[in-house]
A and B are shown apart, each in its own frame.
Chain A
C-alpha cells in the first residue's frame, strides 16, 4: 500500500511534482496526463529513486527509510523504454529480477528458479527463453522487461509507459498481464497515454497536470470532456462501444 501526503519533487530547481496526496492500495491504478506533467517523476519518487518532500509511505514506512534491497523486494519498477546493454538471453534478463532476493554470496536456489519460471509462463516467453534479447522484436522485448519486473514478485508494481511502442494486440496483452498481477493482490501503478485503454483496464485513474493531481477516481469520473479539455487542451468524444468506454480526442 502506498500513501502520498503532500508529495513534492524538485529537479534542477524546477518543481515537477507539487503537493500530490493519495492513498493507493490494490487494483490497477493508471497515471494519466500530458507529456511533462510529472507522471514518471511521481513513479520514480514512489520507487525512492528521486528525493521528495512530503511523505511517501510504503506499507506504513517512509520509502527513503527502507533499506535499498528490502525496497527492491517490495517495489518492482519497470522504467520507461528500458535498454538492455548486453545481449543476454531472455532467461538471464528475467533472472535479474531475483537479485534483490539473493542473500550476499548465495547461489540462486529453487525459489529463484520457480519465480523465473512463473514470470516466463505469465508473459508467454517460455519458448523464447534461450534467445538473446537483441534478436527479439520490440513487442517481445517489452514483454521480457515486464517479465523481469514480474519476477521480483513484489507487492507493488510500478510500470512507466509499459505500452509505449506496442501494437494494439500487445497493448491488450500487457494490460491483461497487469490486471492479472492486481488479481494476485499486488498494487499496480502504470503510466499510460491511451485514454481508452486506461478507461477500459484501470480500476482507478489519477489525472496529473503541471505536477498537481487534477482528478482522482474511477475512469468514468476522471475521463470527462471537461477534464480532457482542461488538461490536454483538446475536445474529445466520449462514448461507448460494445459496453466498453471509448475516448477519441478530436481537435484543439
Chain B
C-alpha cells in the first residue's frame, strides 16, 4: 500500500528544475550556548524539490532546532558549523524579506502564532510586512482563500475559530506570499484527529498541486504517511533516511501490560460521580451545551469521555470539578478531594523552579519535602529540580502538572486532554501514572481525542454527542461496537 510513490506532480515548474535540492545541509553541527554536547552533530541532509518530507524523532532530538536553523530570522543562537543551502543559496544570504517570501514556517501552537484579530487581516499580515501594493495583496488573499476554501469564515474573528481552523489560517497566511518551501514544526500536535486530517489534506494539496516543497517535523508521523514522499529520522544528533515509510504507521504499546477488561480497582462498584438529566448553558443567550445528559462514573476507574470538538467534554469536567453549576438536573459527587488538570499545563505553574512548584501547595494540602522529592523521582524529573518549569519539554511539563495535582491526594481526578501533543515516552509515563492511581482507588475522568490512549488505558468509555451521552460501555465493548470511531 505505498500510495505515496505514484503521484504525478501537477506543477510543471517543479519538474523543469533539474533535480535541484530544495534543502541541502552539509556537515552541520550545532551546540546551544552553555550546553556540553552538540544537538546536531555533523549532519548532512538533502530534500529534493517538490517532495513531502517527514522529519521524525522524539522530543528534544533537535527537530525544531534543525528546522529553525533553516529560517535565519528565528534561528537560535549557539555555535554553528557547516553549510545550509535553501533552494541552492546559503541561508545567510537571504534578507528577511527574501526569506519571508521563499521560506514559509508554521509553528506548533495555533493560538500563539496568529497575530491579528480577524481572519482577513491575518491573511494579509505577511503581505503587509513586505509592503506589497493593494491590488496584488487583494489577489493573493482571494486566491489563497479559494484554494483553502476559507470564504465562509473570511470575515470571522480569529478568537471564534476552532483550533483546526486557526492552524489552517496560519498555513493560509504563510501561503499567501507563495513560498517555494514550507517548514512545519509539529503542525498538528494540538489538533483533534478530524482537524489533523483536514490540515494534512490541505498540506498535501499545497505540495502536489502547487509543487511547494513541504517539510514536516513530527513525533507522530502515523497520520502523515499517506502523504509523505520521503522521511528522515533524527536521533543522537544524526540523520538517517527512513526507507520503509509503512513502519512509521506502527502503534506502540503504552503500558507494559494492558489491564484485562472488567478488572476492577479498589472500591469498585460504587458510583463516584453521577449526573442526572443535566442541562447546562454558559450564558442566557447561548444555546444548551448539555441537554438532558445522564452519566455515572464508577469509583476507582478511568472513565474516558470521547467526542468531537465542542461536544461538551470540557464542560462536563468543569461541572464535575465544581467550577460551574448545572442549570437544571442533579450532580452527585461523593468525593470531596478533587483536582482538575487543564489542557495547557501552563495554567498550573506559579513558581520559579520545578521543586518549588511541587511544594507550592505543601502546607495547604498537608505534605512535605519528602513526598515532593518522591514525586519528583516518580515523574523522572529528578535531574530537573532546579530548572524553571517553562524550560522543561512539553511532556515533562505535563508530567510536572500532573504530579503537582497528585500531591494534593485527590480522590477524583479530572483530566482534559492529558496526552495532547506529547511524544511516545511522555504518553507512556502519563499512562503508567494514571494506571497506578486507578489501582490506588482514585476515580478519573479523562476528556480526550487520543483514541489510541483510550483503547489501552481507560476502563469505561462514553461518547458525548450533541449534549448527550450517546453510549457508555467498558473499553473493549465500546471499540468492538464502533465502526468508524476507533484508534
Q: Is chain B found bound to chain A in the same assembly?
A: no
